[in-house]
Structure 1
Amino acid sequence: MKQRLIMIAGLVTLTIPAVAEDEAEKSLSSADLQNYIGFGVVIAMVILFLVVMLVLLRTFRTLARVLLKDQGLTRAEIEEKMNPAKRRKEKGELWRKLLSLKPMSAEKDLLIDHEYDGIQELDNPTPAWFMYLFYITIAFAAGYIMIYHVFGVGELQYAEYKTEMAEAEIEKKIYLSKAANLVDENSVKIENDAGMLAEGKTVFKASCSPCHGENAQGLVGPNLTDEYWLHGGKINDIFKTIKYGVQAKGMPTWEKSLTPKQIANVANYILTLQGSHPAGAKEPQGEKEGEEKLASK
């Protein structure tokens, strides 16, 4: 009976880990499983490589012992050859090698025969690393002269400055062209730039003159050259009127046809027409706004 119980307990013990492993394998995705397999293969290859290297090292040492024994060396001599005593390095030895320095103990061997007033000179040449660095600077200087002053491949300081200033000017124009289209009825300002006003005049002639007249004297739309305004005569009001239009009176919205920059230019151009008194001007409409009120915003 006891034997049966022990056998059953053993089977249960072996079955539980197997079931757990099956569930764990099912929970792992195929990609994760491939990663684990690949990682395991890499580790196995590294271990195999180390084992092979250790075996080869041991083989070479055995062969060396055999060859030394064939040469008639005793066991002690072979051990001395195979395991030579390590020489203790002096303090600062590595630093002296890097800088090509000589130890103080070797100073007497560096003395030059002649002396002057009791002063002797050491025959201590310039370190190799310093000479290499010196030669590199000479090569660099020669290359610099050829590139910048002989062949003119590279730009000199002043030419490079002019190139960078030209590039900065191009970037500035690109930025301003983008920034100009960020203007709206709240941020628009009065501008007196001749180029902006000329562009505003061109847009006005093409889009606004059919209703307001060639000289803004007023046709279907109101006269824009007097002091009377239906929807405000400030720069912000004019921009807003052009942008959103006045649907009730037949003026279309222009925000989809003109850019914010174009609307701002037209608004500024309209303000320059104040007091121009064109021929055939339409009678005033709206409320009168004086110069102080127009410039207040």
Structure 2
Amino acid sequence: MPEMPEVQGLTAFLDDRAVGRTITRAAVSAISALKTYDPPIHALQAAEVTGASRHGKFIVLSCGDDLHLVFHLAKAGWLRWYDELPTTLIKPGKSPIALRVALDDGAGFDLTEAGTKRSLAVYVVRDPHDVPGIARLGPDPLDPSFTRDVFAGLLEGKRMQIKGLLRDQGVIAGIGNAYSDEILHAARMSPYANAGKLDDAEIDRLYAAMQTTLAEAVAEASGKPPADLKDAKRRGMQVHARRGEACPVCGDTVRSVFFADRSMEYCPTCQTGGKPLADRRLSRLLK
């Protein structure tokens, strides 16, 4: 799933390549992806793209102050850019393409989604905050106002595991499964730690790990075209999606915990006092 660093990379790319261009066509080929009807999708035709911005894991292409194309790539979506947009006809239901946007210089992009579970979402709105997912977002962790004390305040009284809190978009915007694994590994913290019971030293460690991990990932994504962003993300991972490999910090074997639709990765030596966590489908901890 694209998370904040990759989405920021895509946003920066669109800011460079799409802003100032006029949309000549916007066509939805997966009707389930379009979540709004007013304004209609064809309202984008002949609209000039005036800005590109990121809200959590949402990308917003603004066309003036009162028309915005918003999309969320979900788990298996991606943006495919073309300097010369193909002219082939897209057949609904026969292609991974959910949306095609053509620009007046002949360039454009497709939003694609792999697999059978369709979660990619497209909105055309007058205000980005008309999108429910944007309206409920918590603060951005790389915003200058997101200080250590602000972060500590978000943890206070939370009776949930820290892994789940980091992934909760209503608490902190932009972090998903992959970067929560990376942040917790950098902070030397169990994913099952109780968020509301962290002491000051643990909060300091976790906040620093969050800032460093995300800032480095955003820097790595900066300036890369969409086709290169996925590989850049994989190369930067220390534990996520590296089950069975050696931890780059201590050399222990990276382990996984499997859930219904995802897994998390961690290092027992670095994060759980050497004790492997059990597959949550069976039991909480190995005895």
Q: Bin the TM-score by the shorter chain.
A: under 0.3
- Bigger relative contact order, structure 1 or 2 (CA pairs below 8 A, ≥6 apart): 2
Structure number with higher helix proportion: 1
Kindly indicate which of the two structures has a greater share of residues assigned to strand. Answer: 2
Task: Give TM-score scaled by structure 2 length.
Answer: 0.17
Q: TM-score, normalised by structure 1?
A: 0.17
- Rg larger in 1 or in 2? 1
